[in-house]
């Protein structure tokens, strides 16, 4: 627990985890807030926002969850100032997340995309001082470390 409290954690939450959590009535942003108790900053790519906006225009439960996710992100950004929207170009979300490896210390990535998590885990091992912790959110709303 002391390592969590020691310095700022930069947390990237992938679309897959945002929507997976909401599917099971779990808010990944609140889970992060409880785990990191103020020592965090959430970094969201503009491409994640674009993906949620695209999904929100469909007529399905996924659309409702995408709209809810956009509202949650907006509220956290305005009220808690814990969300930073990374205004990247039109880069693919997975490539953007991968490009963030090695650029920040104390990087935490939350993704339920198993293929992406495996690729990130393999790439993260190549950085000595700036590896990332990779988690997924469970149906029960627990952040589980990717093995």
Token pair of 10 as six digits: 């930069």
| pLDDT tier at 12, thresholds 50, 70, 90 | very high
Half-sphere exposure of 9 (CA within 13 A, CB side): 23
Distance of alpha carbon 63 from alpha carbon 41, whole angstroms: 26
**pTM of the predicted model as reported, rounded to 2 decimal places:** 0.85
At residue 88, the pLDDT reads 65
How do strand 132-137 and strand 143-145 relate by DSSP bridges? antiparallel
What is the tens place of the pLDDT at every residue in 72-88? 998 888 777 777 777 66
Domains and CATH numbers, the chain: 2-145 (3.40.50.1010)
Lowest mean pLDDT among 9-23, 52-66, 69-83, 117-131: 117-131
At residue 101, the pLDDT reads 82
């Amino acid at each position: 627990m002391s390592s969590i409290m020691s310095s700022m954690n930069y947390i990237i939450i992938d679309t897959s985890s945002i929507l997976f959590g909401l599917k099971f009535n779990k808010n990944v942003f609140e889970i992060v807030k409880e785990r990191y108790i103020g020592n965090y900053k959430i970094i969201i790519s503009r491409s994640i926002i674009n993906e949620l906006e695209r999904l929100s225009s469909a007529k399905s439960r996924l659309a409702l969850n995408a709209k809810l996710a956009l509202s949650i992100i907006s509220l956290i950004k305005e009220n808690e100032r814990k969300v930073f929207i990374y205004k990247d170009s039109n880069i693919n979300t997975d490539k953007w997340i991968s490009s963030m490896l090695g650029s920040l210390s104390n990087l935490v990535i939350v993704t339920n995309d198993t293929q992406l998590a495996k690729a990130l885990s393999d790439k993260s091992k190549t950085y000595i001082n700036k590896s990332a912790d990779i988690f997924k959110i469970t149906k029960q709303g627990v952040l589980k470390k990717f093995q």
